[in-house]
Amino acid sequence: MDQATAFVIEPRHAARQRLGEQIFRGATLTAAVLVLVLLGGVTIALIKGAWPALSHFKLQFLTREIWNPVTEKFGALAAIYGTLVTSAIAMAVAIPLSFGISIFLTELCPAWLKRPVGVAVELLAAVPSIIFGIWGLFVFAPILQRHVQPWLIAHLGVLPGIGALFQGPPFGIGILTASLVLAIMVLPFIASVMRDVFETVPDVLRESAYGLGATTWEVIWKVVLPYSRTGVVGGIMLGLGRALGETMAVTFVIGNAHRVSTSLLAPGTTISASIANEFTEAVGDLYTSSLIALGVLLFLITFAVISAARLMLRRLDRKALASV
């Protein structure tokens, strides 16, 4: 492009262009600031709704397990515990599985199988979460109750230490069931992102490693994964965000008990499940406010997770730059 042959705009056109620029720039800026306003609005509206409960119970709200609508004493401990534990177990199950699936799809899969399996994984992501809940209740939980849980209680429940995790009668529903259903739910999201990100790794990097004699696994672990770690972390965070906030899949199978138990086979509750179950029937301002306060807590937890993810990504990037 020859800079010398610059296009000359006539003055009246220029004025119109400038006005157009102001309008357009203003519009985009407004829309962008709207995102901030939206978050601010959500935060303010939630805190306003939660204020009666938070000011009444103060810090005890976070540390007490009691949830009694009759005496109007509420504490979020059971809900927080359930949310964190189910999400943690779900991620512990889903991340390795997703990793395996994306490795299969990118490295091992023959070309004719790639499309169908890829579509199959996406199909799982398209299923509405309420289906997971219903399927979990009517199909998965009975299987767990009749075959899996008795085995766990008999063989793992008797071991010292981790035995405490597998106590109690086999109900079929409970924290473990909810965690597994969650894991199946977030699996396709993480797997899709990992697969997409693995595919963006330039072939030349892979070929170089193979040329040096690396096995397939070593290429994946030492070349592909480090290259795509930002995307992988992003995918995991996406899955974690979904797991923390998931309502429908969990509500049907969590057992809905506002109790903290050491056993994974016991019923529990999560923040979303409590809100969904009880909000429309809640009578009394303190009860409603306590449920909204649970929402505030969930929002804070999600916020903390995303911030931690970003920090971790920044540290990874800095380390990579430093090692260059």
Judged by CB under 8 A, which of 62, 84, 88, 124 binds another protein? 124
**CB of 164 or CB of 311, closer to another protein:** 311
Judged by CB under 8 A, which of 251, 261, 289, 290 binds another protein? 251
Interface with another protein, residue 174, by CB under 8 A = yes
Interface with another protein, residue 76, by CB under 8 A = no
Beta partners for residue 68, in sequence order: 73
**CB of 62 or CB of 225, closer to another protein:** 225
Three-state SS sequence of 212-244: CCCCHHHHHHHHHHHHCHHHHHHHHHHHHHHHH
Write the binding mask 231 to 250 for another protein: x where contact by CB under 8 A, - elsewhere: ------xx--xx-xxxxx--
Interface with another protein, residue 38, by CB under 8 A = yes
Judged by CB under 8 A, which of 15, 45, 92, 159 binds another protein? 45
Cα–Cα distance, 173 to 89 (Å, whole number): 15
CB of 85 to another protein, least distance (A): 17
DSSP 243-271: HHH--HHHHTTS-------S-TTS----H
Instruction: Tell me 167's DSSP state.
Output: -
Residues between 276 and 315 that touch another protein (CB under 8 A):
276-284, 292, 295, 298-299, 302-303, 305-307, 310
Using alpha carbons only, give the angle 283, 252, 119 rounded to the nearest 5 degrees: 135
CA distances to 30, 39, 176, 194 from 180, rounded to whole Å, are: 43, 31, 6, 20
Structure tokens at 35: 């995102």
Judged by CB under 8 A, which of 182, 275, 289, 290 binds another protein? 275
**CB of 36 or CB of 321, closer to another protein:** 36
Write the binding mask 198 to 237 for another protein: x where contact by CB under 8 A, - elsewhere: --x-x------------xxxx-xx---------------x
Instruction: Check if the beta carbon of residue 254 is closer than 8 Å to that of residue 85.
Output: no
Residues between 54 and 73 that touch another protein (CB under 8 A):
66-71
